[in-house]
Structure 1
Amino acid sequence: MSLQALFETTRSEGRGALVGYLPAGYPTVADGKRTLTAMLDSGCDLVEVGVPYSDPVMDGPTIQAAADTALRNGFRLADVFSTVETVAAAGGRAVVMTYFNPVHRYGVERFARDLASAGGLGVITPDLVPDDDAGWCAAAGAAGLDRIFLVAPSSSEERIALTANASSGFLYAAAVMGVTGARATLSDTAAETVARARRHTQLPIGLGLGVRSAQQAAEVAGFADAVIVGSAFVTAAGESEAAVRALAGELAAGVRGQGAMTSTVGK
């Protein structure tokens, strides 16, 4: 199923999509594959497979520590493709989130081709701007991958328009300025950032950075098309598979409850 088809389904159900993030290879490659499968089995509509990187400048301490563990346990970039392949073979949907340097070093055309062959649907590139993409948009388009760029509360209207125009699949809205990490309350700028982005695109908009509870997931699902959860899943993965399944179920219930009550998803 494409990302477009996924969001058509969630819209028809009057709810947002639940998107869960986990670095590939955390804490080992086999463990990561099992955890991502558990996330999908327990309520996630889509998973983001992260690429562990040695200089994760946009990640908070939780994801940084997980990436470091994966790298120390022997993670290699090829493990991203095998992880995505496992997800796809099990009937799940996956995109990859990566800093651009690993893609550039691997080769943009080669990376796009290998990810598409593994069953990946798209790539989120948090540190890449579409007006200086080093050929990524062309390579991704040729491979049939969606190009998912980020906007932030500080983005100008011109920057949001340019970013939205270059994106496909969905647009990623960062709820806060700064690094990733679960937070007790949502940022005051979250809904405003999504509303600003909607003025420039018909694409679905996913909100990430900070969600950790069913209540927060329900709140986000009231104004965004996707609720993106990262650090909370990484923390749960460090505890047990049962903790991951419980978190996914809790968040899925929040997303579905809010969607049913408001019927505003995608509007």
Structure 2
Amino acid sequence: MSRVAAAIDAAHAEGRGAFIGYLPLGYPDLQTSIDAAVSLAESGADILELGPPYSDPVMDGTVIQEATVAALAGGFRMRDTFTAVREISARVDVPVLVMTYWNPVMQYGVDRYADDLVAAGGAGLITPDITPDAAADWIAASERTGLDRVFLAAPTSTDERLEMIARASTGFVYTVSTMGITGERAELDAAARALVGRLRAHGVENACVGIGISTPEQVAGVVDYADGAIVGTALVRALRDGGVEGLAAEARALAAGTARS
């Protein structure tokens, strides 16, 4: 069974939605990013989502972009992804997903990337800029290795595309709350609730909502209808402003929002 799906099921068994926390690797430096991810898991995250820095992060907002620039300036290299996943997986028993743009995976080699991620203890990939119809090599590699494939669904996705995403995804479907880049928003787009309903109609068991979720109240609102809430920018800001201790405090507050009434 998918380790990611099992983590979501375990959260549901405790009467809550899953809390999925994102952090960029290499920020503010590699070891601190590892320690921060471990602290995030120990502070309530059910699933870790780790982002290797990328030179053109088209999906990310200002806070994450600034962290990415700093990580690259600090000398982050592709191989550091697997070093980080290996150390984090050795320290905490929480599934680790890598959220990566597709070009670095292609440059590294799809099968080689999958094999190295499995060897490091990783659970799978979230691939924001590739769709299932263009991902035959990755689908084959993930089926061979048992890694999870998390594809994105957007409010603008057609029913035909949602059906394709539903068939190809494992672990969960990353349900985009609103069109645009990542970052905090005062109000989440109501389209997220409708999109989760559409995904359910296509047989999706686990739909987790991300983009724009930044408060415990927003987490609570999301897990009322979805299987989990994905938080990124608020956690990166907490790490930037308060270090690992500040991140842990923010994570505990967000995790408290996952309880279902």
TM-score (norm 1): 0.94
Structure 2 portions without partners, runs of 5+: none
**Residue equivalent to 2:90:** 89
**Residue equivalent to 2:7:** 6
**Residue equivalent to 1:114:** 116
1:149-164 equivalences in 2 (<5 Å): 149-164=151-166
Q: Which of 223, 226, 229 is residue 224 of structure 1 equivalent to?
A: 226
CA distance in 1, matches of 2:10, 2:175: 21
Is the contact made by 2:8 and 2:46 (CA closer than 8 Å) also made in structure 1?
no
**Residue equivalent to 1:264:** none
TM-score (norm 2): 0.96
1:4-153 equivalences in 2 (<5 Å): 4-91=5-92, 92-153=94-155
Query: How big is the shift at 1:134?
Result: 5.0
Query: How big is the shift at 1:190?
Result: 1.4
Deviating above 6 A after TM superposition, structure 1's stretches of 4 or more consecutive aligned residues are none
**Residue equivalent to 2:193:** 191
Is the contact made by 2:99 and 2:125 (CA closer than 8 Å) also made in structure 1?
yes
CA distance in 2, matches of 1:202, 1:185: 25
CA distance in 2, matches of 1:51, 1:128: 16
Query: How big is the shift at 1:242?
Result: 1.9
CA distance in 2, matches of 1:93, 1:166: 20
Aligned identity (percent) is 45
CA distance in 1, matches of 2:134, 2:245: 42
Code of the aligned partner of 1:249: R
Code of the aligned partner of 2:211: L
Code of the aligned partner of 2:71: A
**Residue equivalent to 2:247:** 244
CA distance in 2, matches of 1:131, 1:87: 32
**Residue equivalent to 1:210:** 212
Code of the aligned partner of 1:152: A
Question: What does the per-residue CA deviation read over 1:17-68, in whole Å, with 9 as the maximum and x for residues that have no partner?
Answer: 0000011111110110011111111111111010110011111111111111
